[in-house]
């Protein structure tokens, strides 16, 4: 069965829960695979904290990697939480780009391409931290040797196009931060790049960004925790709406879930 038409009742209901509340989300969470992520950011701890925070949609977006997504997906399903598979890719310019996909498998395909584009530098755990791969029981099954927090050989334009070629959604990460953001590196959001939206870390900065002409009032946006530690998961009460860059993807995933049930 195909997806319902854009204005169908099914899709309108997708943003509501069984309790009738609008879906709460946190779509920028790091696991213990990211060297800067705390070792306590395990699949069960992440999903457990998301559950305690009443989150219904989460995304685990490790730096240039996705190896913990299979485990997170199993645990998220057990909690009844929707997982959007993602990666926080670092481009050649040192710009962080959030790339989201409909399936873990597609995200892992993207991961392989990204990993192959990284410089051959090994992680130094004593300096950068562990890069742990875990199963659904929070058991360590391996570690990534390549350092994950470095820039890919893909520039920003190439990275966005690569994400789109694999049917992904590309969002500029934390554009209002002073490092690793498109604005801090380029001073602008290049109009020739077909980006799907922006992440604003502090939504209080949105009016100023609009006033400065860096984004428009119509620019799809979202705000997430960028959690590297458990206590930050779901710290913001953000709701999905039609101006959210992942609105269409969430609708599709929710519809598939409904059909499976």
Task: Domain ranges for the chain, please list them.
Answer: 9-256
Sign of CA dihedral 127, 223, 114, 186: negative
Q: Are 89 and 96 in contact (CB under 8 A)?
A: yes
| 219's tokens | 């620019």
Q: Please report the pLDDT score of residue 7 as a whole number.
A: 32
- What is the pTM for the complete model shown? 0.89
Superfamily holding 9-256 = Metal-dependent hydrolases (3.20.20.140)
Do 39 and 67 meet the contact criterion of CB atoms below 8 Å apart?
no
Question: pLDDT tens, position by position, for the chain (261 residues)?
Answer: 222 233 322 232 334 444 344 678 999 999 999 999 999 999 999 999 999 999 999 999 999 999 999 999 999 999 999 999 999 999 999 999 999 999 999 999 999 999 999 999 999 999 999 999 999 999 999 999 999 999 999 999 999 999 999 999 999 999 999 999 999 999 999 999 999 999 999 999 999 999 999 999 999 898 999 999 999 998 776 777 666 778 777 777 765 655 565
pLDDT per residue as tens digits for the range 26-81: 999 999 999 999 999 999 999 999 999 999 999 999 999 999 999 999 999 999 99
Q: Do the bridges between strand 96-100 and strand 169-172 make them parallel or antiparallel, or are there none, so unpaired?
A: antiparallel
Structure tokens, 3: 């997806």
The separation between the first and the last C-alpha atoms of the chain, rounded to the nearest angstrom, is 14
Q: What is the DSSP letter of 94?
A: S
Question: Looking at the DSSP assignment, which residues form a beta bridge with residue 143?
Answer: 132
Residue found by looking up tokens 């990697």 in the block: 65
Rounded-to-integer distance, Cα 77 and Cα 181, Å: 32
Number of H helices, E strands in the chain: 9, 11
Q: How many CB atoms lie within 10 A of CB 22?
A: 13
């Amino acid at each position: 069965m195909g997806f319902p038409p854009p204005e169908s009742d099914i899709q309108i209901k997708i943003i509501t829960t069984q309790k009738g509340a609008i879906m709460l989300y946190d779509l920028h969470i790091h696991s213990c695979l990211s060297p800067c992520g705390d070792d306590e950011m395990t699949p069960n701890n992440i999903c457990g904290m998301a559950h305690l925070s009443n989150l219904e949609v989460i995304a685990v977006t490790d730096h240039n990697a996705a190896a913990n997504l299979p485990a997170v997906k199993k645990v998220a399903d057990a909690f009844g939480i929707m997982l959007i598979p993602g990666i926080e890719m670092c481009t050649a310019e040192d710009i962080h780009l959030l790339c989201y996909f409909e399936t873990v498998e597609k995200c892992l395909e993207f991961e392989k391409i990204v990993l192959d584009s990284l410089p051959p530098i090994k992680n130094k755990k004593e300096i950068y931290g562990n890069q742990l791969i875990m199963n659904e029981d929070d058991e360590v099954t391996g570690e990534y040797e390549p350092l994950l927090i470095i820039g890919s050989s893909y520039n920003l334009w190439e990275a966005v196009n690569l994400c789109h070629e694999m049917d992904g959604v590309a969002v500029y990460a934390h554009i209002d931060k002073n490092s690793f953001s498109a604005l801090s590196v380029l001073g602008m959001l290049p109009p020739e790049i077909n980006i799907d939206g922006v992440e604003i870390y502090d939504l209080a900065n949105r009016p100023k960004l609009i006033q400065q002409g860096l984004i428009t009032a119509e620019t799809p946006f979202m705000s997430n925790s960028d959690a590297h530690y458990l206590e930050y998961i779901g710290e913001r009460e953000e709701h999905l709406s039609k101006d959210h860059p992942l609105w269409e993807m969430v609708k599709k995933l929710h519809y598939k879930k409904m059909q499976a049930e």
